[in-house]
Amino acid sequence: MSYLAEPLGEHHDLASFDCGHDGLNDWLGLHARTATGQGTRTYVLVDDDGGVVGYFAVAPHTIDREHLSRSQGRGAPRQIPAVLLAKLALERRLQGHGLGSELLVVALRTIVEAARRVGGRFVVVDAIDAAAVRFYEHHDFVAVPNNRSRLIRKLSTVARALDMPWP
Ligand SMILES: CC(C)(COP(=O)(O)OP(=O)(O)OC[C@H]1O[C@@H](n2cnc3c(N)ncnc32)[C@H](O)[C@@H]1OP(=O)(O)O)[C@@H](O)C(=O)NCCC(=O)NCCS
């Protein structure tokens, strides 16, 4: 089976998607299309049969420098341009075999490509639970002070890791 990420469209059937988290399932089925009109972009991971087996959602964002550690915020303006990786989820039966990491790489590539053109210093994630925190830490995201569920990673280091030009 091969998989392709593409922008969420009207033709995608979202009803049977199940990542094991009701909140993330419901968001895709009930809110993702509306969110597009409000500034969020959702991409779905589609299998050879056209079935939606994963998704991620991204949106422009800013971080208050005072919410970062001194080293994280060094040299940055008070409002730091960033990109929010608002959602990321994979169909439950496919989890644990590296596909979630591949989906994260697709999301990060999308974010780096956009940020090269429009700016952004960090990618930000809000992990849904402790397991998601570990997943992102495994991928070199670092928590911000006083908020265990919010993690960031510098876009310059993401670009370098993915062998992409920056800026
Ligand atoms: C989080 C999610 C996308 C990960 O996808 P996955 O295919 O299960 O993860 P992978 O198999 O690619 O795991 C990649 C690595 O991260 C680690 N990892 C993955 N999930 C983890 C977890 N819950 N806890 C700790 N480590 C985890 C794995 O050990 C693996 O390490 P390895 O490459 O050294 O073996 C998927 O489990 C999912 O959709 N979960 C439900 C929704 C969710 O929690 N989303 C998080 C964003 S809010």
| pLDDT in the model for residue 7 | 98
Q: Which of 92, 163, 160, 102 is nearest to 131 (CA)?
A: 92
Question: From atom 45 of ligand 1, which residue's Cα is the shortest distance away?
Answer: 89
Would you list the domain boundaries of the chain?
3-161
d(CA 150, ligand 1 centre) in Å: 16
Cα 157 from Cα 122, distance rounded (Å):
9
The mean per-residue pLDDT over the stretch 19-24 comes to 97
**Spatial contact of 85 and 40, defined as CB atoms under 8 Å apart:** no
Could you tell me which residues are beta bridge partners of residue 60?
A: 83
Cα separation values, 159 from 105, 115, 126, 137, 164, Å: 11, 10, 20, 17, 5
pLDDT at 139 (0 to 100): 98
Average pLDDT over residues 34-48: 98
Write out residues with Cβ below 6 Å of ligand 1: 19-21, 24, 88-90, 95-101, 127-128, 131-132, 134-135, 138
Question: For position 62, what pLDDT does the model report?
Answer: 98
Q: Whose CA is nearest to atom 34 of ligand 1?
A: 138
85 CA to middle of ligand 1, Å?
15
Across all residues in the chain, what is the average pLDDT?
A: 97
| CATH number of 3-161, picked from 3.10.450.50, 3.40.630.30, 3.40.50.720, 3.40.640.10 | 3.40.630.30
* 81-139 tens-digit pLDDT: 999 999 999 999 999 999 999 999 999 999 999 999 999 999 999 999 999 999 999 99
Percent of the chain with pLDDT over 70: 100
Reported pTM: 0.96
Buried residues in 33-58 as b, exposed as e (16+ CB within 10 A): eebeeeebbbbbbbeeeebbbbbbbb
